[in-house]
Structure 1
């Protein structure tokens, strides 16, 4: 049976402040807010730890460890910034794009509390535009527009398109992108079934950047 440690009002407590979802390709900026609920001054050592993980937490890859000591007066609150540079996580991200940050806070001889925050990085969106009417067995073109979110070149990117009733065999186009470059790729196919069909688009760049999107296309009789 696991044993929970109860934290009283006369203790050190904390949490990571609510932030906007960090975007892929940018530094992750966090702020740890600590409160000294005791009646005496405290020197607190905070051990920050950042790991790449996934939704299942089955894999943990450490990317950053830092420690800092602060002095806090009784009833005082303090905010401690913690930054994860883009360069620390970008090459190790898993498909889930999840980073877990913990702050182990220690004071006196036995006092300690563990504070954690799970972050799912926001991936860029893509836009899909149909050019003309979708008619069965007639050529149809769509434009897929997206932006490289990174400050580096992305080579060997694949734009993949598939959709039952629209595309019989997956279409693949290879492109390269400069840092922060916005591009539009045109994909052509012949719908082979009428009705509402879903076109699925995936942009896959070296497993570092994966952008997904879909669009419902209504295919008409000729």
Structure 2
């Protein structure tokens, strides 16, 4: 099978449902692009972008800052819950669900626990994109839009990555193209499966 050929989903292999592959990483790490490209490389897949879900809030949206302003964490958790609900719906129909979002620290742990509890028979794959701060800054300079605020800087988000439980697959994508990152994720997908025991051991 060539690198750009679709990989069969579990539904086509007689399995009960699709995969859940979660891609996290700092802004400008490329998680949305990687997630979308990864979905195109699966035979039946959807891509869920957390930012798109946030934009469903037409009025009353609260932007995340450090420390979180009132309502920000509630909206973030609602966004994660909505993403997981969509993922579960499509997985039940045999689609792989690839979710790209900002999952760090204790909020990442909460999401992972929720995902594992939603159906313990379905595996959860968690991938953290972890390029160097220098690489993030360079990618950010090339972006046409924003990505950081006065409080959510590359340094702050790098610390957030480090505070995230070391479960699944953590990739230093410094110097990689999107295609190279997706190739590595697919090649090492088994390493991305979250073992509940490892989550407990991660503190």
**Shared fold, TM over 0.5:** no
Q: Under a length normalisation based on structure 1, what TM-score does the superposition of the two structures give? A: 0.27
More strand per residue: 1 or 2? 1
Q: Under a length normalisation based on structure 2, what TM-score does the superposition of the two structures give? A: 0.28
